Amino acid sequence: MAPGAEIEALTAPRKNEDQPTLYNDVNQDELQTKSSKYLLNYGTKFNKDVICASRGLFVYTASGHKVLDFTSGQMSCLLGHGHPEIVKTIADHAASLDHLFSGMVSPPVINLGERLCNLLPAGLDKAFFLSTGGESNEAAIKMAKVYTGKFEIVGLGASWHGVTAQALGAQYHFGRKGQGPLMPGMLMLPPPNAYRSIFRHSDGSYDWRAEMEYGWRMIDMQSCGSLAACIVECIQSSGGMHVLPAGYLAALKHECEKRGMLLIVDEAQTGVGRCGDLMAINHEDVVPDILTLSKTLGNGLPLSAVITNEEIERVCAQRDYCFYTTHVNDPLPAAVGDKVLEIVIRDGLVAHSHAMGQILHDKLHALKEKYGCIGDVRGRGLMAGIEIVEDRESKIPALALGQAIGDRAYELGLWANLSSHPSFGGAFRIAPPITITEQELLCGLEILEEAFATTTGTLPVHV
């Protein structure tokens, strides 16, 4: 194909028979008017276009714009939109086994528990299933409090764990203001930001150990002696795609053990193959006391998991731990989660994610060599961040420029979410479905490069 032809073929307006047609006959302006009139603001501005269909790696607008989805929806559609086996699983269980009384158990739940626990390291042996990532983190924090008999929870700066009370209390990114006191006993470690941290060795490299030691000294001074747990993401996606440095997670577990705390790892976005390992904890060979999963496990359906060991479960049961919700262990989403894991393992998608991730990061680093506005490229596997700055010396975030690049990419047919709020650091977050082909990946990256090339202020580097 001629240069650009593959992009045009992939992102051409939806006119052919294989495109979704559920909402073909709608009016964009009319829908936007109704949206403004009837939909309550929940903390974000809606995208300018109304999305009327999704299939595979693409979403489609009411005006006919076809857009390559480089964020898997909300970082969740691990296998792409409308995967036929997922669709069949949903249809079968919607017809025959959808929702039950919360004290009942069903084969999909048992099957998911068995498959998941057998895939995880020893020490993650018992699971139950909820709806959202925030809910699973809420349940995990409560479990840690019940097990330890203590109440203080440590989180990392730039973290995102959810918007329920305890999850939000351990979240130091956004959403904490305007509601009065948060949960008591919530303490913060410095965010492990290799690009911006002031903790440096004499050669200028990031000294995360000194930073962590400093953070724990501050925690110990603030603590009233009731430290229960530390909750952490292996890659702080909402915070700008910051990867925990090698050795950080093991050191964090050691610090927790010294204080009689549990370690909770939140793998909402990193789990189930996204980062080139089945779970991000596998990369460092660290087993937390409690693991939470969400987003990727349900391929876009509301499904999350809390997994721990038999001893924690035993003690919590003795102490009347309760997290009894309307949709705990629902069969339909559990069946989807079980099918997601089956497909990921059967189709070798973890290795595929690793291979595609290498291509992704190589190309993004090459893009950095061409444009001076790219201050940093980071991530692992099919999770990547590109931080946009005014210049590499000052490292001042260039939020308006990043927004302009993102808008241009969208016009060209690519959705790559820009975390444009100042708390997000002005970084593009890229996390396409792990089913993405090399051709689709390269075409998306070509669109992204075209957006940089045709946006004023990107600081092209002339060699």
**Residues labelled catalytic:** 160, 233, 266, 269, 295, 429
How far is Cα 283 from Cα 274, in angstroms, rounded to an integer? Answer: 12
CA 257 to centroid of chain Cα atoms = 27
Taking the alpha carbons of 30, 19, 302, 75 in that order, is the dihedral positive or negative?
negative
- Give the 3-state secondary structure of residue 444: helix
What are the start-end ranges of the H helices in 286-348?
A: 310-318, 331-346
User: How many Å is the maximal CA-CA distance in the chain?
Assistant: 68
How far is Cα 357 from Cα 378, in angstroms, rounded to an integer? Answer: 11
Closest CA to 142 of 112, 162, 125: 162
- How many angstroms separate the Cα of 202 from the Cα of each of 198, 199, 207, 247, 395? 12, 10, 9, 20, 20
Phi-psi category of 171—alpha, beta or left, where left has phi over 0 and alpha has psi -120 to 50?
beta
The angle subtended at Cα 169 by Cα 164 and Cα 297, nearest 5°, is 50
- Token representation of residue 447: 């669109």
Phi-psi category of 391—alpha, beta or left, where left has phi over 0 and alpha has psi -120 to 50?
beta
SS in 3 state form for 328-344? CCCHHHHHHHHHHHHHH
What are the start-end ranges of the H helices in 262-306?
A: 280-284
The 10 Å CB-count burial string (b at 16+, else e) for 93-118 is beeebeeeeeeeebebbebbbebbbe
How far is Cα 432 from Cα 2, in angstroms, rounded to an integer? Answer: 25
Q: For the beta carbon of residue 343, count every other beta carbon within 10 angstroms.
A: 17
- Give the 3-state secondary structure of residue 284: helix
